[in-house]
């Protein structure tokens, strides 16, 4: 896996939007940051396995 | 009016038919030309029987004969209980209108039956798309995104050529020839992500650990990402976020009502809850109240001024905000320039007590300067900011905070102007409090309260005292310093108190309008000349003054920090420290100083300038 493929701000942003939409209510930005870290981690793990 | 219709029959029948038609036409004089005129045969008979004076039976026969002779003009309709005569005013016999729909738009959509060949379609419409401006993405090198320590795999071909100049043996781990030229990647590196700030984060760690260690940096980077999103898909207000398309909007009329409510009904900044309940009519018990509150705050950013603090989302109009704590004698641009040094790294307010210790204590003490007292302002130093609420939103320009004076049971509203661009920050609106209860040199203490937008301000009390103190006498053309007696009962720093003995010689110096006080060098030179002890010769005049005295005198004119004054003195080509133990500074000033034999203040200032 190449680390350069995971880029903060680009990778997983669409998934982040989906999570925010699913939440329905306004959320704290720290909550959003945590979700984003989890999305990035999942992507990194997937690419590592590939 | 007679008609041109061709009535048929005997002369008597023709005449009667014409009369019948005329009666019917008069009855329908406002009808359209083609509209049917309908009358019952019974009514026609009774009308003519009365006028012709004959037997009704014979009249009936005559009318029926006339109608039958003119069937092209009079149509007859028979219902269950009566017989009707139908005609039109111009055309005679009524013919229902038939609309020509042969060329309707609906039909024309299918014409021609055989469409034009595709080659000719450009004759019908253009296939050229209009130019739509697109936002071009800015590509940033991965090197800068991931940093030089990036975990990317790099083949030897990609590596720059390195000229080996040493005689050392070639290490075994360098792969030569046709073997795969790939560096192995540390699996731990594959789980790392670099923030735009250059911070590298190990994603293998648990999320709470990452957030604890790098939470602020991640949130800051995420804010940057959200702001840079050209589609603006995430709505942000303070620390809250939501999907923009799910955030309700407010009509222009609602915005107008909110503006009117703030400016004309309340005439003070209003909380978001107040607006929701009293203008938008949303009950605070509504299930979606918090969502509505977020929507209101997010949408109002475009139209109104947010002047709130964490826990109190206050909204004002620009017009209203300009009035809060306003002082007509000082312009915001001048004030911003007079406190700019605080943003340029010369804020020394936390040299003795750190921000953390002030925050832990929850209060800060300050000796009021003449400039602050005169114009009702306080510079927003780091020390003061430590007890004041922080801005809630990005680029927030002001916050409105209530200051309580517990010992006087008195409160007032203060406009906190946050630093922005080429101006520093300050608090304005203390005029009345300072001038009615304090004097320059008073020791004040500012402390937080349990309410987010309420701050306490107190002062040390002392025995009543009367002194002749410096004040500005505003003139029509220009202002000047004078001394006037004042009574006060607050604890003061006697070195800062602007008495005749401390600052009497200030009248030797020109007044300096506010706009002129930005030039600190000029002020320093004037004070050296006006207050300094003469040294040197007539040809080369030198003036000496102690640093603390110079600093206290400067605080009469403007906001200044000791660090900033030191910087100015060091930068000044003609100033030098002559005695560091006494803090004595010397300056060579090429300014002609009027010689005054006395320091009584009865002389005319006009001569001085």
Provide the β-strand partners of residue B420. Answer: B423
State the pLDDT at residue B169. 47
Q: Is B482 exposed, middle or buried (0-12, 13-18, 19+ CB in 10 A)?
A: middle
State the pLDDT at residue B592. 54
Using CB atoms, pick whichever of A20, A37, A41 lies closest to residue B218: A37
Q: Chain A within 8 Å of B461 (Cβ-Cβ)?
A: no
Q: Which residue has the higher pLDDT, B288 or B508?
A: B288
**pLDDT tier at B456, thresholds 50, 70, 90:** very high
Q: Chain A within 8 Å of B296 (Cβ-Cβ)?
A: no
State the pLDDT at residue B79. 80
Using CB atoms, pick whichever of A3, A20, A44 lies closest to residue B242: A20
Using CB atoms, pick whichever of B228, B234, B237 lies closest to residue A20: B234
Q: Is residue B535 a contact partner of residue B586, using CB atoms and an 8 Å limit?
A: yes
Measured between CA atoms, how close is B383 to chain A, in angstroms? 28
State the pLDDT at residue B123. 58
With an 8 Å Cβ cutoff, are A8 and B150 in contact? no
Please report, rounded to a whole number, the percentage of residues in chain B having pLDDT higher than 90.
Answer: 52
Q: How many CB atoms lie within 10 A of CB B399?
A: 25
| Structure tokens that stand for A16 in this block | 């982040």
pLDDT digits (tens, 9 = 90+) for B251-291: 999 999 999 999 999 999 999 999 999 999 999 999 999 99
**pLDDT tier at B112, thresholds 50, 70, 90:** low
With an 8 Å Cβ cutoff, are A30 and B215 in contact? yes
State the pLDDT at residue B297. 96
Q: Is residue B541 a contact partner of residue B595, using CB atoms and an 8 Å limit?
A: no
Nearest to B41 by CA among B11, B93, B79: B79
Strands (E), B9-66: 37-40
Q: Is the pLDDT of residue B152 over 60?
A: no
Q: How far apart are CA B563 and CA A41, in angstroms?
A: 48
**pLDDT tier at B582, thresholds 50, 70, 90:** confident
What dotted CATH number matches B235-319? 1.10.10
With an 8 Å Cβ cutoff, are B222 and A29 in contact? yes
ipTM (interface predicted TM): 0.93
Q: How far apart are CA B261 and CA B256, in angstroms?
A: 9
For residue B530, give every residue at least 6 positions away whose Cβ sits within 8 Å of its Cβ, in sequence order, or none: B505, B506, B508, B509, B593
* Mean pLDDT of the region B209-213: 93
Mean pLDDT of chain B: 84
Residue of B nearest to A5 (CA): B152
* Mean pLDDT of the region B492-512: 90
Measured between CA atoms, how close is A12 to chain B, in angstroms? 12
**pLDDT tier at B490, thresholds 50, 70, 90:** very high
Q: Is the pLDDT of residue B578 over 80?
A: yes
Residues of chain B numbered 187-226 and touching chain A (CB < 8 Å): 187, 189-196, 201, 203-204, 207, 210-211, 215, 218-219, 221-225
Measured between CA atoms, how close is A2 to chain B, in angstroms? 5
**pLDDT tier at B524, thresholds 50, 70, 90:** very high
Measured between CA atoms, how close is A29 to chain B, in angstroms? 5
Q: How far apart are CA B603 and CA B499, in angstroms?
A: 18
DSSP letter at B261 equals I
* Mean pLDDT of the region B424-437: 94
Q: How far apart are CA B434 and CA B442, in angstroms?
A: 9
* Mean pLDDT of the region B229-237: 93
State the pLDDT at residue B467. 94
Q: How far apart are CA B577 and CA B569, in angstroms?
A: 9
With an 8 Å Cβ cutoff, are B193 and A38 in contact? no
Using CB atoms, pick whichever of B145, B219, B241 lies closest to residue A20: B241
Q: What's B1-114's CATH class? A: mainly alpha
pLDDT digits (tens, 9 = 90+) for A1-50: 444 578 898 899 999 999 999 998 999 999 999 999 999 999 988 887 77
With an 8 Å Cβ cutoff, are A33 and B218 in contact? yes
Q: Is the pLDDT of residue B147 over 90?
A: no
Q: Chain A within 8 Å of B86 (Cβ-Cβ)?
A: no
Q: Is the pLDDT of residue B410 over 60?
A: yes
Instruction: Give chain A positions within 8 Å (CB) of B146.
Output: 3-4, 7
Measured between CA atoms, how close is B197 to chain A, in angstroms? 11
Q: Is the pLDDT of residue B144 over 70?
A: no
Measured between CA atoms, how close is B166 to chain A, in angstroms? 33
With an 8 Å Cβ cutoff, are A6 and B193 in contact? yes
With an 8 Å Cβ cutoff, are B246 and A21 in contact? yes
Residues of chain B numbered 100-119 and touching chain A (CB < 8 Å): none
| Domain ranges for chain B | 1-114, 235-319
Q: Where are the alpha helices (DSSP H) in B80-120?
A: 105-108
Using CB atoms, pick whichever of B146, B211, B237 lies closest to residue A33: B211
Q: Is the pLDDT of residue B609 over 90?
A: no
Overall pTM > 0.90:
no
**pLDDT tier at B463, thresholds 50, 70, 90:** very high
User: Domain range holding A21?
Assistant: 3-49
State the pLDDT at residue B128. 64
Q: How far apart are CA B40 and CA B180, in angstroms?
A: 110
**pLDDT tier at B93, thresholds 50, 70, 90:** confident
How open is the CA angle B600-B601-B606, to the nearest 5 degrees? 135
Q: Is B464 exposed, middle or buried (0-12, 13-18, 19+ CB in 10 A)?
A: exposed
| Structure tokens that stand for B73 in this block | 């003009």
With an 8 Å Cβ cutoff, are A45 and B195 in contact? no
Q: How far apart are CA B555 and CA B571, in angstroms?
A: 20
State the pLDDT at residue B49. 85
State the pLDDT at residue B164. 37
pLDDT digits (tens, 9 = 90+) for B526-538: 999 999 998 878 7
Instruction: Give chain B positions within 8 Å (CB) of A13.
Output: 225, 229
State the pLDDT at residue A3. 44
* Count of structural domains, chain A: 1
* Mean pLDDT of the region B175-185: 45
pLDDT digits (tens, 9 = 90+) for B291-340: 999 999 999 999 999 999 998 999 999 999 999 988 888 888 899 999 99
State the pLDDT at residue B208. 94
State the pLDDT at residue B180. 44
Among B59-63, B136-140, B466-470, which is the least confidently predicted range? B136-140
With an 8 Å Cβ cutoff, are B191 and A45 in contact? yes
State the pLDDT at residue B448. 94
State the pLDDT at residue A50. 72
Residue of B nearest to A18 (CA): B243
State the pLDDT at residue B101. 73
Using CB atoms, pick whichever of B218, B222, B290 lies closest to residue A26: B290
Q: Is the pLDDT of residue B133 over 70?
A: no
């Amino acid at each position: 896996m190449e680390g350069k493929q995971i880029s903060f701000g680009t990778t997983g942003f669409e998934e982040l939007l989906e999570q925010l939409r699913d939440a329905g209510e306004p959320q704290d930005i720290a909550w959003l940051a945590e979700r984003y870290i989890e999305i990035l981690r999942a992507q990194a793990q997937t690419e590592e396995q590939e | 009016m007679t008609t041109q219709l061709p009535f048929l029959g005997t002369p008597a029948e023709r005449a009667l038919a014409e009369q019948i038609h005329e009666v019917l036409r008069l009855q329908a004089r406002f009808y359209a030309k083609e509209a049917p005129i309908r009358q019952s045969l019974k009514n026609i008979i009774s009308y003519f029987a009365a006028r012709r004076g004959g037997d009704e039976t014979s009249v009936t026969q005559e009318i029926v004969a006339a109608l039958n002779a003119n069937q092209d003009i009079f149509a007859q309709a028979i219902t269950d209980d009566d017989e009707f005569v139908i005609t039109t005013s111009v055309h005679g016999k009524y013919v229902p209108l038939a609309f020509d729909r042969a060329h309707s738009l609906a039909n024309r959509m299918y014409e021609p039956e055989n469409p034009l060949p595709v080659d000719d379609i450009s004759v019908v419409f253009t296939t050229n798309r209009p130019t739509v401006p697109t936002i071009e993405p800015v590509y940033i090198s991965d090197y800068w995104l991931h940093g030089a320590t990036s975990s990317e795999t790099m083949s030897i071909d990609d590596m720059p050529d390195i000229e080996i100049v040493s005689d050392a043996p070639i290490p075994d781990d360098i792969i030569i020839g046709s073997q795969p030229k790939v560096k192995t990647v540390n699996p731990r590196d594959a789980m790392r992500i670099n923030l735009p700030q250059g911070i590298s984060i190990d994603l293998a760690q648990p999320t709470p650990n990452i957030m604890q260690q790098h939470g602020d940096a991640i949130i800051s980077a995420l804010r940057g990402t959200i702001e840079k999103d050209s589609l603006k898909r995430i709505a942000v207000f303070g620390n809250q976020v939501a999907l923009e398309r799910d955030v309700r909007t407010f009509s222009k009329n609602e915005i107008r009502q909110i503006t009117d409510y703030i400016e004309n009904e309340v005439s003070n900044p209003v909380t978001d809850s107040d607006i929701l309940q009293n203008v938008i009519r949303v009950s605070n018990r509504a299930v979606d109240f918090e969502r509505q509150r977020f929507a209101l705050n997010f949408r109002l950013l475009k139209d109104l001024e947010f002047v709130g603090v964490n826990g109190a989302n206050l909204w004002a109009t620009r017009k209203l905000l300009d009035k809060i704590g306003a002082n007509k004698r000082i312009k915001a641009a001048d004030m911003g320039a007079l406190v700019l040094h605080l943003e340029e790294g010369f804020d020394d307010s936390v040299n003795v007590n750190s921000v953390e210790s002030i925050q832990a204590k929850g209060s800060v003490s300050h000796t009021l300067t003449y400039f602050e007292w005169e114009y009702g302002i306080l510079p927003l130093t780091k020390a003061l900011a430590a007890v004041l609420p922080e801005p809630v939103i990005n680029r927030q320009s002001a916050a409105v905070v209530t200051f309580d004076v517990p010992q006087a049971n008195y409160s007032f509203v203060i406009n906190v102007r946050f630093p922005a661009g080429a101006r520093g920050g300050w608090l304005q609106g203390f005029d009345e409090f300072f001038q009615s209860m304090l004097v320059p040199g008073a020791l004040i203490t500012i402390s937080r309260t349990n309410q987010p937008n309420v701050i306490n301000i107190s002062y040390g009390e002392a025995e009543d005292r009367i002194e002749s103190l410096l004040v500005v006498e505003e003139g029509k053309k220009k202002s000047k310093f004078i001394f006037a007696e004042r009574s006060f009962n607050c604890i003061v720093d006697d070195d800062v108190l602007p008495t005749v003995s401390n600052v009497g010689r200030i009248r030797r110096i020109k007044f300096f309008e506010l706009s002129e006080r930005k030039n600190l060098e000029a002020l320093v030179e004037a004070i050296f000349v006006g207050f300094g002890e003469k040294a040197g010769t007539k040809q080369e005049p030198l003036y000496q003054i102690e640093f603390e005295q110079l600093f206290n005198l400067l605080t009469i004119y403007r906001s200044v920090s000791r660090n900033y004054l030191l910087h100015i003195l060091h930068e000044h080509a003609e100033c030098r420290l002559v005695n560091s133990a006494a803090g004595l500074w010397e300056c060579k000033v090429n300014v002609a100083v009027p010689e005054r034999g006395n320091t009584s203040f009865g002389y005319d200032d006009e001569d001085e300038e």
